[in-house]
Structure 1
């Protein structure tokens, strides 16, 4: 089990004040990592920090906009100067906007691209520049089953998650030779705040349960094993891979 031990390692998780980001932060902390939570909302970050600290985890916060180049560079520099090297990065910052494609607002498209793609590029680049001289590092991008599949009303979101899948492969191609492993997790349909409207929709939930071989929604705690695996020495020769945690939905018609 020492392969999965993260003791002595520091993990930065973007979009970590709630939902999947918070669940992954808790999982990595439970495996021994000290975690740094990032988001834009300071109050939510502080609430998340208090909740994890109450479970005896080592946790700090770093409030900055992951889609702002200047804020990213300053934020990453401040973390490494104040706390030490970032060993693990989880690019989780993301958003959703549902609308028919033919009337999809341009400003919403731009926000989706900035939050879902730009943030992973900017934070990944800033962290990798520091990992490369050290010859080691783990980067985990949070993709989606929408990296492979589309649904009505979310074509731009699907485009961003497809791009993130390929950015993951590109990062691995460029940075593996420097000792970095860059992979992704592709969650299926999980009960999160982002999916609250869908969870509350009885017709959608019934459809999803029939469509998913496992026959149910996922619980965010079920992402813990994938996150620990990709953050640990257990995945030392895994690179450019998207690990789908989806109850089988991408495997079945």
Structure 2
């Protein structure tokens, strides 16, 4: 993959929390709200959970193991908010419903849902075990749809809610050897667009707001693992590990603070859109929702030859 293929921003990107998304700016703004973060044991998920706690929200953290979430739980609790850990496989419908029911019994009705849990296998489809490939779809796409399917009717009945789906730059580009990941993230981004339109049908377009959020270039264990040895032996490794590490410039807290800001509702004009957390939200808001929608900004789309349109 050549990063130059996808272009380089001429407007400086943000690599640390700034202006409206700093801890100071968001202090207490999510007080009284109940939040859920999946994939919260480490990395981006842990940062999201702690940022929500810093903004005043009670936090339910969810991962495959409760023990692996101890550090996240302690970090959240240090900010004086309620926090409780739950073990759940997000691709298991029965487990998801049971877990979310338990959270609402323990903490109260859920106001904020962050679907962060995800997995990545770097292997071309032709060399993949299909079950391993499909597991990425199960966790990265089916998992968020299960949590949304469970909670959305409850949010509808209460008349409010915020859902943040952690997407990826990979949803918008073609990256060989990551078919399961790019496909599932593209599907999740498209689902976010469509679900927001369904909220409009319910008369709840601004009351329930959904976002597809790219967390930036975060060097996590998932992203830095590299392709398996047999794949490298067949296709080679065109770039060394240090080259790819240089592309990951963002700390997890940048995504965490962006999630906490979105949860406040201050970014509602960006609802239903794909957002890159490195791009200043103030600049996006200044563009205006009407213009963003009219010009099809921040949505998955197809560019045809001039004169051809994507007719129904």
Corresponding residue of 2:273:
241
Corresponding residue of 1:205:
242
Corresponding residue of 2:224:
196
1:158 to 182, 188, 198: 182
Corresponding residue of 2:211:
183
Check conservation: 1:188, 1:247, Cα contact below 8 A. Answer: no
1:65 Cα deviation from its structure 2 partner: 1.6
Q: Secondary structure at the match of 1:85?
A: coil
Separation (CA, whole Å) in 2 of partners of 1:165 and 1:3: 29
In structure 1, runs of 5+ residues without a counterpart are none
Separation (CA, whole Å) in 1 of partners of 2:255 and 2:132: 28
Corresponding residue of 2:162:
138
1:196 Cα deviation from its structure 2 partner: 3.3
1:186 Cα deviation from its structure 2 partner: 0.9
Corresponding residue of 1:88:
112
Give CA-to-partner distance per residue, 1:78-134, whole Å, 9 cap, x none. Answer: 111221110000001100001123212201122101100000000011111111101
Instruction: List 4+ stretches of structure 1 deviating above 3 A.
Output: 1-4, 54-57
Separation (CA, whole Å) in 2 of partners of 1:140 and 1:4: 19
Q: TM-score, normalised by structure 2?
A: 0.71
Aligned residue pair count: 242
Separation (CA, whole Å) in 1 of partners of 2:91 and 2:199: 22
Separation (CA, whole Å) in 2 of partners of 1:236 and 1:247: 16
Corresponding residue of 1:170:
194
Q: TM-score, normalised by structure 1?
A: 0.87
Separation (CA, whole Å) in 2 of partners of 1:242 and 1:14: 19
In structure 2, runs of 5+ residues without a counterpart are 1-24, 227-236, 281-297, 299-312
Separation (CA, whole Å) in 1 of partners of 2:80 and 2:70: 15
Corresponding residue of 2:302:
none
Highest CA radius of gyration, 1 or 2?
2
Asked if residue 20 in structure 1 is aligned to residue 48 in structure 2, the reply is no
Query: Which has the higher mean CA deviation after the structures are superposed, 47-56 or 127-136?
Result: 47-56
Q: 1:44 to 1:208 in 2, by over 3 A?
A: closer
Q: 1:3 to 1:175 in 2, by over 3 A?
A: farther
Corresponding residue of 2:130:
106
Corresponding residue of 2:15:
none
Q: 1:246 to 1:145 in 2, by over 3 A?
A: farther
Check conservation: 2:32, 2:57, Cα contact below 8 A. Answer: yes
